[in-house]
Structures are given as structure tokens and as C-alpha cells.
Amino acid sequence: MFLEHKHTIEELVAECNKGNRKAHEGLYKMFAPKMLGVCMRYATDRMEAEDMLQNGFVKVFNKMGDYRGEGSFEGWVRRIMVHTSIEYYRKHHKMMQIVDIETPGIEPSVDPLAASNLGVKDLLALIQQLPPGYRMVFNLYAIEGYSHKEIGETMAISEGASKSQLSRARGILKEQILKMEGKRYENVG
């Protein structure tokens, strides 16, 4: 079943390279929901995310000839989406550069059990509320699994800046989770 699925993707890719428009649409339908899920994490809202998705897919179709079958096609598409999202922010938000402030602040304590009650929508909302630079770094590190070195190269910032932005992003997130938990307790109580 898995092989069959993979075969279909390869066929679609081959057809796309021949200029088959139906194949383009087929690939889009296959990957669009997943990729919008990726873009949503990098965007502030759904409109931005759909813009990123559109730019990303145009790139995917234009660069289709570059895909050499190394690694999964989905992974290749995902990387393009991530890069497109970062590029999008470079173009639309000039406030990417963030001043490094060495203030660890007070670590808010969050109950992991309580946090586990947070749903996808809550967590997504938390990420989207982060300042763009923090959001990018946190996404790349915590979810995409990039190293600080890779993040530095991708975003054209120093490794140190990546580290400090990650820690600030975490700090904000913990703070927000705590607040949400507090609200929840208030509602319950």
C-alpha cells in the first residue's frame, strides 16, 4: 500500500515534468492540506499562510525538474514551503532583525500535564502570536529539527542570534501557556 502510494507520486512527478496539468493539480491536492499546515505555523494568520502556500507551490512546480528522487518528495516539498515562508517574511516584514538581549527573565513554570490539555488550535495560536523572528526560529528548531547552524544559514543570522531567539521564544510560549492555564482554572473554578 505504501509502495503503491509512492509509485503514484513518482508517476505524478513524471507527468508534471511532461507538462501534464492534471498531474499538477493531482500533486497539489495531495499535498496542499499538509503544506498549509506547515505554512500556518510560520504565518500570522490564514491569509498569509495561503499566500505562502501559493508561492511555495509555484516554486515546487517550477523546480520540479530539480527533484532527483533523493529523499521523499514530501520532504522536498516541505523544505520548499519552509524556505518560501521565511522568504515571505523577509519581503513583507522588515522587523526580522531582533536585538539580542541577554535577559533570561523569570522562567514561568508550566505544569506539563495541564499543558497537554492544550489542543492544536491553542498551540497554533500561541506560535502565531510570537514575533516573526522568534516564530521562525522556534519552528525551525523545535518542529523542523534544524540545528542552530542551519537556522543561521537559512535566515542569514548568526548562530548566537538563533540561540537567543529560541530561548526568548520558549520563554514567551511558557508564559502564554501559563496564562491560558490560569484562565482555564479561573473558568473552571
Partner 1 sequence: MKMSDKDLDKLFSSQLADMEIAPSASVWEKIKPEIENKAEAKQSMMTWLQIAAAVVVLATAAFMLRPQTQKVALHGEYSAATVNTSPNGLAITPQANPGLGDIQVNEGTRPEASATPKHQYNDGRTAVVMPLINKVDTTHVMIARIEPTETHDAAQQQISQPVTQEVKLINNPQLQNNQPVKTLAANNAPVQKETPVAQKKKIHSLGDLFNVVIAKVDKRPNKIIQFKDNDDDDSEFGVSGVNLGPIQIKKND
Q: Which residues contact 148 (CB under 8 A, 6 or more apart)?
A: 141, 159, 162, 163, 166
> Nine-digit cell at 185?
482554572
Q: Which one among 37, 96, 100, 131 touches partner 1, defined by CB under 8 A?
A: 37
Give 74 or 100: the residue with its C-beta nearer to partner 1: 74
Going by the DSSP 8-state scheme, the letter that residue 108 receives in this structure is: P
Residues composing the chain:
189
Choices 6-14, 91-99, 113-121, 157-165 (CB under 8 A): range interacting with partner 1: 113-121
Looking at residue 102, what DSSP letter applies?
-
Stretch that binds partner 1, among 37-45, 82-90, 92-100, 155-163 (CB under 8 A): 37-45
Q: Is 120 in the site for partner 1 (CB under 8 A)?
A: yes
Write b or e for each residue in 153-173: b if 16 or more Cβ atoms lie within 10 A of its Cβ, otherwise e.
Answer: ebbebeeebbbbbbbbbbbbb
Based on CB atoms, which residue is closest to partner 1, 170 or 184?
170
Interface residue with partner 1, options 50, 100, 150, 175 (CB under 8 A): 50
Q: Where are the beta strands (DSSP E) in the chain?
A: none
CB nearer to partner 1: pick between 19 and 189: 19
Closest listed residue to residue 36, CA positions, set 71, 72, 85, 93: 85
As a whole number of angstroms, the distance between CA 146 and CA 152 comes to: 10
Which one of residues 97, 143, 147, 179 is an interface residue with partner 1 (CB under 8 A)?
143
CB of 34 to partner 1, least distance (A): 5
Binding residues for partner 1, per CB under 8 A? 19, 21, 24-25, 28, 32-34, 36-37, 40-41, 46, 49-50, 53-54, 57-58, 61-62, 107, 109-113, 115-116, 118-120, 123-124, 127, 138, 141-143, 167, 170, 173-174, 177
